[in-house]
Structures are given as C-alpha cells and as structure tokens.
Amino acid sequence: MAVTPFGTRLATAMAAHGPLCVGIDPHASLLDAWGLSDDAEGLRRFSLTVMEAVAGRVAAVKPQAAFFERHGSRGVAVLEEIVAAGRETGTLVIVDAKRGDIGSTMGAYAEAFLRDGSSLAGDALTVSPYLGFGSLTPAVDLALSSGRGLFVLCLTSNTEGHEVQHARTTRGDGGTGASVAAVMAAHAAALNADATPMGSIGLVVGATVGDAAGRTGTDLTAVNGPLLAPGVGAQGAGADELREVFGAARGQVLASSSRGVLRAGPDVAALRAAAGAAAHEAAAALS
C-alpha cells in the first residue's frame, strides 16, 4: 500500500492547525518550575502533560532527544511513549536527535529513528549533514521509502554555526564556490523536485539568523520543502524577524516554540491556551 509522504501530511496538518511545532524540551529548570523531580518519573509526567494539552491541536511536536537520553533507558522509554502518543492522536512527531555519521553507522541511526516498527520512529528526524550531504543517504532513502521526513541542519542560530555553514566551498579550478549552507539547501531542493504540495526533505533554519540566507546565497524558496524554524516566541523572533530570514519562503515555515508554550505549565488548560496563542501568532507572522 502506498504511503502518504511526510511533506503532504505536514502541509495538511499546518493547514488544519497552523504553522506551529511545540518543542518538548524538559530542561531540569522547567521540571523544577513545574514542581517535578529531575528524574525519569518527572520527565514522564512533564512530557505526557504536554501531549495531553497539545496533541491533535498543533501541526507537530518536537521532543529533544538529549533531554530524554540524559535519564538513561527509562528516559528513552518516555521518548517512545511520546512517539506512540503522537501516532495514537494523529499528531506528527519530529524527533530532534540531530544524528549524522557515515556508512553503516548512519544506516543504524536511520533504522532506529525511521524504520517502520521501531519504537523511536516518529514522523521525521533532524539530521546533521556536516560529514557531507551524501553521508545522509541511508536516512534519506529510508525516510522517503517509509513516508517519513528529514530536517537537515542548514542555518542554525548558535553563534558558532557560521564557522561551517557560511564557509565557502572550492570550485574545480580552485576558486571560491558556493557557501556550505547553500550547497546543503541545493541538495534538499534536488530531492524535493516536483513534489506537491511540498517535499519531505526539509531544512532547519533558525528564526533569529537575520539575513544569513541572503549573505550565503541560500535559496530557501527553491527548497520546495518544510523549513523548521526554532527561535520563535521566547527567543525573540516575531513577524519582522521571520520576514527578514525567510522572505518569500514564509509559506514553507514550521515555526518551533518551546519555552514560550512550556512555561505556561503544568496546567493543561494554560498549556493549551499558550499553544493556541503561539499558533495564531505564527500564522499572522508568516502570512
């Protein structure tokens, strides 16, 4: 039976619920603010409360794998519960694990996070291409064959990111070529060619990177895939920032908000209201 591509499912979810992804980032400080213990049980109560509040009401959720892995096998089991809850409620789950490696090791990561039947396989995975975009081939192949998606790191908001992402490649004649970020975006665009309404290989582009796309010659509009934009809300990105970063590609943007929603907890109604407000603000900012 043919599977519906991730890009199609995401476009449908964004149209129904707005262009918002709620990050599930259970920092120790957030657990404390919620009156929860910094252990696997506190993590579980936090995560399932967020899912109760927003599942079926936002386009996607994005659990950050590191905050689950820090609690060992019991923490990873909570991540598996989030993936299962997303499946049960029809909520897209983007596992934010930023995996990247070569050969059989990348293949093993792909099996863990993208294979049908894996308890960690959500609907999409964040990946790092900085061992060369071709190193992602096992993940690309498995994502596309299973109807899942990838979000490839492209222009990130950390201050060190420009050292790699803004660097220029060399041409065959030894001259200066395109920026690394532009090359990564071009690879994604090639994989998304002719997909409608959009492809399944997206990019991660920070909502606070300013005019970085223009300065690096990165054509975000041509990607024809989703643009995951961390930094909306509590980290300072509003309508003006989104317009500067994404320009004509704003319709492809899935805005990610974590603290801006999570700090409303632990009350379910308050979390739900915060997510609704964030979705409305993101839609207005990206219109």
Of the candidates 27, 57, 98, 263, the residue annotated as catalytic is 98
3-state secondary structure the chain: CCCCCHHHHHHHHHHHHCCEEEEECCCHHHHHHCCCCCCHHHHHHHHHHHHHHHCCCCCEEEEEHHHHHCCHHHHHHHHHHHHHHHHHHCCEEEEEEEECCCHHHHHHHHHHHHCCCCCCCCCEEEECCCCCHHHHHHHHHHHHHHCCEEEEEEECCCCCCHHHHCCEEECCCCCEEEEHHHHHHHHHHHHCCCCCCCCCEEEEECCCCCCHHHHHCCCCHHHCCCEEEECECCCCECHHHHHHHHHHHHHHEEEEECHHHHCCCCCHHHHHHHHHHHHHHHHHHHC
Angle between helices 268-286 and 40-54 (to 10 degrees): 60
- Whether 98 is catalytic: yes
Would you say 65 and 99 are in contact if contact means Cβ atoms under 8 Å apart?
A: no
Structure tokens at 181: 């970020």
Residues identified as active-site: 98
